[in-house]
Every structure is written in C-alpha cells, then in structure tokens.
Amino acid sequence: MERLDDVNAWRAYADAQRAQGRRVGLVPTMGALHAGHASLLGEAKAAGDVVIATVFVNPRQFNDAADLRGYPRTPEADYAVAEACGVDCLVEPTLAQMWPDYPRPTSTTVSVRGVSEVLEGADRPGHFDGVASVVAKLFAITGPCRAYFGEKDFQQLVVVRQMVRDLALPVDVRGCPIVRDEDGLALASRNVRLSAEGRTRALALSRALGAVSGAGTASGHRRRMLEVLDAAGVEIAYAEVVDPLTLAASGDDEEGERRALVAGVVEGVRLIDNGPVTLVTKESHALSN
C-alpha cells in the first residue's frame, strides 16, 4: 500500500492509475476507521477500483472547537485497517496542504443551498459548507473517480450528490448501507466517547427508527420517534420524515417511500441515524384496515 501526505503526489498517483486504464475509487474519511469505513473500502474493492482512502480531520466542518479537539485520531490503527481492506493508496494530507490559510477563512467556499440548511445544517452553522468545500477539494485533487459515502451521514450524501450535479463534477457518487453494531447502534467514530450507560441510551436512536418500520402518517411517525428518544433521556435535536432527494419535510397528505432521520446528544456526543420509512395518509390507512 502506498502512503502519501503530499497533494501533488496523490494527484499524480490518481492520474497514473487512469492512464493505465484503471478506475479510481475514492473513500474520503476523517480517520478513526471502523467497520463502517471498512464496508466502504470493501465496496470500492469489490467494484474493481484502485482504492484511494483519504484521512483528514477537516477543521472547517466542525462548528464546535471542543468536538474538533476531542475527535479521535488513530493514524497507526487506520493504517492497519486500510491495509487489511486492500487499500491501494492511503493519503493523509497535512492541514497546511489542504487549508494553507487556516485558521483564516478561505476566499472560496462551496455552499449547497437548500439541502444544507435543514436538519444537521440548521443546528450546526457552517458544517456543510465545510464538508462541501473539503469534498470538492478531494474530488479536484483525485480527478474522475467513483466516490463512496456511507448512508449513515444521509444528509451529507444528499449534499455531495447535489454539489456533483450542480458543478458537473466527474465523480460517480455511491451511497453505501449503514453498518450497525449487534445491538443496533450505527457505527460512528464518535461512539468511542460514550460510556457504557451513554451507549445504552444512544440505542434509542435506532429503536426510534425501528418504531416507525410500519406504514403511517408523517406526523404519526415523528411523534413515535420523539416518544422513544424522550423516554430514553436523549437530548433531542430532531426526528424528521423527509423526501430523500430534497430533504423537504413530509406532510400528512403524502404517501410512499421517504427517509426518517433522528439526531440527539448523549453525554455531549452528537449522534445521528436514519432509515427508510413508508408514508400513508390517514384515509388510506383507514381503508386498508
């Protein structure tokens, strides 16, 4: 496995792969690699791509300095995971290379309006500008590729897809299923900051989604999810049902497949989760019963 920290060497590596007729698969990460990341790497590998994994804790997407300071950094363990997953090139760019002006703001920021402004975006000002800007830069350096993102960060996936469409970037964005621990907790790098008790409480997020696995109205689903989160003592950020492409909140007059998203804070750790959900109106629910 190649290990690079230089942006020009990384660009040259990707160019050389394409020149030899290979397709590049990019897996952007912030490190602290876990089985969720391994599944993204596995999908890229299974697709036959030359896999480039990037590890960069992007300070511009943290709206909370304490969260950035406490973000787990495990470079040697990340190396071992990347190697075990068959990564061809692990790139760990320095802050000076990615954001030479940091901590001064960049002159150029990628802002994806609409889908960035709701849910996580409403609670974390500037977060998705930071994500879109760094992902645009990762794409610009890597060049034409397939890029793999987890559905765990569902809104991030929607934002990246919208950016790629709007800017006609030569990137095929692939969303990969959420990986969960046996108890149902969606894998996330921040989970290591939870105590055993906090972890038990955090399970309410996946339970809330499980509680809306049957068909129902948007408001009924919202109410049920809020009840589960509240009963577990989660500091609730939101429990929403939305259109999976636009992230517009669903109304009770809607039917069909939508996305349920929940977010909350446990022991100071922000947790998110999501899953598919089916909407029916009260009228068609009554007719089918």
Measured N-to-C along each axis, helices 196-210 and 218-231 cross at an angle, to the nearest 10 degrees, of: 160
Q: Pick between residue 93 and residue 275 the one whose CB is nearest to ligand PAF.
A: 93
Please give the positions annotated as active site.
Answer: 37
Residues that bind ligand PAF (CB under 6 A): 28-30, 58, 61, 131, 134-135, 153, 156
Question: How far is residue 120 from each of residues 69, 98, 117, measured CA to CA in Å?
Answer: 20, 24, 8
Q: How far is the CB of 134 from ligand PAF (least distance, A)?
A: 5
User: What are the beta bridge partners of residue 26?
Assistant: 52, 147
What are the tokens at 262? Answer: 């929940």
Select 93 or 216, whichever has its Cβ closest to ligand PAF. Answer: 93
**Cα gap 203→80, rounded to integer Å:** 29
Q: What are phi and psi of 250, to 5 degrees?
A: -80, 150
Q: Least separation, in Å, of the C-beta of 173 and ligand PAF?
A: 11
Token pair 């569902």 is at which residue? Answer: 154
CB of residue 163 to ligand PAF, shortest distance in Å: 12
Q: How far is the CB of 57 from ligand PAF (least distance, A)?
A: 8
Q: Which is nearer to ligand PAF, 160 or 218 (CB)?
A: 160
Choice between 99 and 212, CB closer to ligand PAF: 99
Q: Which residue has the tokens 């290591």?
A: 192
**Could you count the other beta carbons within 10 Å of the beta carbon of residue 257?**
10
Q: How far is the CB of 126 from ligand PAF (least distance, A)?
A: 13
d(CA 62, CA 82): 25
- Position 19: which residue type? A
Nearer to ligand PAF, 29 or 39 (CB): 29
Q: Identify the burial level of 289 via C-beta atoms within 10 angstroms of its C-beta, where 0-12 means exposed, 13-18 middle and 19 or more buried.
A: exposed
